[in-house]
Structure 1
Amino acid sequence: MKRQYFGTDGVRAPYGSATMNEDFAWRLGAAAARFAKGKMRTSSKDVFIGRDTRASGPSLESALAAGIASEGFQPISLGIVPTPVVSLLTRSSAAAFGVVITASHNPASDNGIKFFGSNGIKLTDSDESQIEHLLPVSPSVLSDEDRLAQKTDALATYLELTGALLPPDSLQNWKIVLDTANGAACVSSRTVLENLGAELTLIANQPDGQNINADVGSQHPEKMSAAVKTVGARLGIAHDGDADRCILCDENGDVLDGDEILTLLALRALKQKQLEKNTLVITVQSNLGVDAAVQAAGGRVSRTDVGDRYVIERMLAEGATLGGESSGHVICSDISPTGDGLVAALKVIEVMLETGKPLSELRRGLRKFPQLTAALKVKDKKPLESLPTLPAVIKKIESELGNLGRVLVRYSGTEPKLRLLVEGPTDERVQSAMDQLTAATKADLEVV
């Protein structure tokens, strides 16, 4: 069933728009609760709600909670917490379901709502379609703050779990740069790393409701990289607004994306014979070099559509425990049922501790194919197959590249953008292909 409101990661839109306001949040909360009634895997009526640091979060939370309460559930606010905290607590407490109010890496002017089932795993496309069909026409009550209970110790379990991933005091004499994007991880990641003994240089750890992701975080690692070189840190860690992503940089300030993190972890696990099913799950967006590196080490790669929840679905289907996206979503499902930026960083540090090697050396396991990406903002998302120029150009480039490269053209599931990706044998051929794709896109669509 085609979804009208949900994208690749929940509902996301500018705050104040038709699909991200208090009325719609109430309706969505009521619809999710109605859906949960028909899918109850637990007798609990508790629903955990977390949010990031956006100014629009509290009012959306109040309205969402009122909609949930209208169907007989008990909404419980976890306050400002990373997305993986909601996932973990929902699963460990066997709550009815969990909700996070966040627009992830988007600017503060946007917000979003995404759901987790009682197992702590994001809902499927089919689940979201059913929720959309259960939306009431209008809210019967806009707000009902008295029905929203508070859970003040939401971070405690998460801090204990993540802090135990490394030996006590194992980061003594480690300098680390930490960029929390003025988002949900400002307290959690700092606390865990400092408790392990790290000396931190903090970036973007003063949220004011408007500065989340503002030229910082996983989308903008430049400040992190510069700080690593300035203070002589062993690595830098950057999250996005809700901290389910992780981008790193090595001691030289060179950035590692999700593909490099996943390859590093997969190669280490294969060497230790600890990679479940010898399988790493990634998306079609990941570099072809990941496949080559993992296969050379005796493993296999399984690819899915873009979206960390599709990665998780494939991991469950194949019995894999490691997967993720080039954007920095890294899922270690033996620890957390969803992407977790802090867990990803700690797992990489664990490899550094075990091997005694710097990150600049460990990253060499992945030799990337030449690749270019672009994200063109478009006025309308017209069906690609209906466009007069772009499909033919794609087919031409694919024919020229053969098995030496690939082309990926898709609309973003969360933004009004057309995403282009080209991989090939040389930088020159990749650039030529990207120029052709860009020109064809501008001929067919209104790029703004």
Structure 2
Amino acid sequence: MKRDYFGTDGVRGPYGGPVINEAFVARLGQAAARWAGGTGTVYIGRDTRASGASLASALAAGLAAGGMHPVLLGVTPTPAVARVVAASGVRLGAVVTASHNPASDNGIKFFAHGGLKLSDSDEALIEAQLPNAPADQLGAGSRVWSEEDGTSAYVSSMASRLAPGALAGLKVVTDTANGATCATTPEVLRKLGATVIELAASPDGSNINDGVGSEHPDAMSVAVRQAGANLGVAHDGDGDRCVLCDETGAILDGDEILVLLALDALDGNQLAERTLVVTVQSNLGVDAALQRAGGRVDRTDVGDRYVLARMRECGARLGGESSGHIINLDMSPTGDGLAAALGVLAVMKKSGRPLSDLRRALTKFPQGQRNLKVTVKRPMQDCTALVAVQAALTQEFGHRGRAMVRFSGTEPKLRLLAEGESEALVRTALDRLEAAARTDLDVI
């Protein structure tokens, strides 16, 4: 079903634009309430953006106008909201966030019963309700909601995942992106006995993801080396991503984290279906690492909700994306950056090995990516030069590499990816793809 507003991860855009503004968000809330049956409680969290409180109130007004009882959780990580939805048995939850995007953007993510992200068809059904949700129905009487703390239960639950004092003797640097995890990840790590050095933990409404967090881990890497820390943990603004660095400051992306966790689970015969679910963007080295250990990899489209859908289809319990969305269904119903970090820390303590040693299990194929900002996302079939170059590269690479092209679902960007047997081949492939893209598209 066609969707006009929802992308790969909710509705997102510049605050004050045609979609992310209080009037439209209130209508979206009313439409979502109609989809959810117009009754029951709905939990709403947000990240630290200056626009978050106003948009959360607008969303609550719309949901209330649609017959639901909104509960505002305040600044709460996305995975914590998903947990509340799952634990309470309600049919709907929402987070006001634009994830890793800059502070000038914002958005809405919805969760269905069980803390699961909505399917494409569910999102299309919500959009279909928008004509039945006019702004003039949002009277003063609809602005009724309550407030609860959204983080305390999450912190207690996550801290209980490991034994008391399990992380004693470890020094960890956290970069919480001036976002929603500032009050959760450092606290959980300290409760478990770790010494914690905090970076980017002073949100002011405008500094979320501003040169920090999982998209910008360099400061974390430097801090780890300077402090002699065992590990660095970086989240994005809403806490559903995790990027790590080892004690040398070398960065680990989602692929490396997933392989580390999957191989540990395989070693204990604990990897469900002996399967790890990743996306088409994950490095081909992931497949090789799992195959050597007697496991298998299942690939799906880009987007953590597509990963989760495939996990549910095939019975897998572990999956994720190279971007750092890590889903461990034994710990969370959705991507959870803190859960991923705790999993890696547990492996480090159990094995007694440093992260720089554990990460060697994955030998990556040389890979390169480029993100090109475009004015308009044309249908891919109309990008004839780009399609032709991708087809030619696919034939040339055979089983020794690949070339991928896709538009971002959340930003006005074209994403190019190439993998091959050498860095030179990858650079050449990306140059050819970019040249074709500039022929077909208006690249800024």
| Same fold flag (TM > 0.5) | yes
- Residue 65 of structure 1 contacts residue 144 of structure 1 at CA under 8 Å; is this kept in 2? no
Letter aligned with residue 2 of structure 1 = K
Uncovered stretches (5+) of structure 2, i.e. residues with no partner = none
3-state DSSP of counterpart to 1:115: strand
Distance 1:275 1:108 in 2: 38
Q: 2:218 aligns with which of 219, 222, 235?
A: 222
Query: Which residue of the partner structure matches residue 92 of structure 1?
Result: 87
What is the CA–CA distance in structure 1 between the aligned matches of 2:248 and 2:204, rounded to whole Å?
31
Q: What letter is aligned with 2:196?
A: L
- Paired AA for residue 17 in structure 1: G
Task: Output the CA distance in 1 between the equivalents of 2:95 and 2:47.
Answer: 8
Task: Please report how far the alpha carbon of residue 235 of structure 1 lies from its aligned counterpart in structure 2 after TM superposition.
Answer: 0.5
Other-structure match for 1:398: 394
1:303 to 1:143, Cα distance in 2 relative to 1, 3 A: farther
Give me the whole-angstrom Cα distance separating, in 1, the residues matched to 2:142 and 2:235.
31
Alignment partners' CA distance in 1, 2:22 and 2:139? 7
Cα distance in 1 for residues equivalent to 2:410 and 2:142 = 29
**Contact conserved, 1:62 with 1:145, CA < 8 A, in 2?**
no
Q: Percent identity?
A: 57
Q: List per-residue Cα deviations over 1:152-177 (Å, max 9, x = no partner).
A: 2x222211211012211122221110
Alpha-carbon shift at residue 96 of structure 1 (Å)? 2.5
Question: Which runs of no fewer than 5 residues in structure 1 stay unpaired?
Answer: 39-43
TM-score by length of 2: 0.98
What amino acid sits opposite 1:102 in the alignment? T
1:358 aligns with 354
Q: Give me the whole-angstrom Cα distance separating, in 1, the residues matched to 2:323 and 2:197.
A: 23
The letter for the 2-side match of 1:437 is: L
- Structure 1 residue 143, shift from structure 2 partner: 6.4
- Please tell me whether residue 71 in structure 1 is matched to residue 71 in structure 2: no
Query: What does residue 424 of structure 2 align with?
Result: 428
Stretches of 4+ aligned residues off by more than 6 angstroms: 142-145
- Structure-1 separation of matches of 2:28 and 2:40: 17
State the distance in 2 between where 1:440 and 1:27 align.
Answer: 40
1:147 aligned to which of 144, 147, 150: 144
After TM superposition, the score normalised by the length of structure 1 is 0.97
Q: Distance in 2 between matches of 1:30 and 1:236?
A: 41
Q: Choose 213-222 or 168-177, whichever is displaced more.
A: 168-177
Distance, in Å, in 1 between the alignment partners of 2:200 and 2:262 is 30
Counterparts of 2:13 and 2:139, CA distance in 1: 20
The residue identity in structure 2 corresponding to 1:11 is: V
Q: Corresponding residue for 2:10?
A: 10
> How far has the Cα of 1:185 moved from its partner?
0.2
User: Residue 24 of structure 1 corresponds to which residue in structure 2?
Assistant: 24
Alignment coverage as a number of residue pairs:
442
Task: Specify the alignment match of 2:98 in structure 1.
Answer: 103
Shift of 1:436: 0.4
The equivalent position to 2:272 in structure 1, one of 269, 276, 285, is: 276
Instruction: Please say if residues 62 and 144 of structure 1, whose CA atoms lie closer than 8 Å, have aligned partners that are also in contact.
Output: no
Query: Which range is displaced more, 256-265 or 396-405?
Result: 396-405
The aligned amino acid for 2:28 is L
Aligned AA (1:324)? G
Map of 2:167 onto structure 1: 171
Paired letter, 1:149: S
Q: CA deviation at 1:206?
A: 0.2
**Partner of residue 198, structure 2:** 202
Contact 1:23 1:142 in 2 (8 A): no
User: What secondary structure, in the 3-state scheme, does the structure 2 residue paired with 1:147 have?
Assistant: coil
Match of 1:41 in 2: none
Give 1:142 deviation, angstroms.
6.7
SS at match of 2:151: helix
Matched position secondary structure for 1:37:
coil
* Aligned match of 1:232: 228
Q: 1:109 to 1:142 in 2, by over 3 A?
A: farther
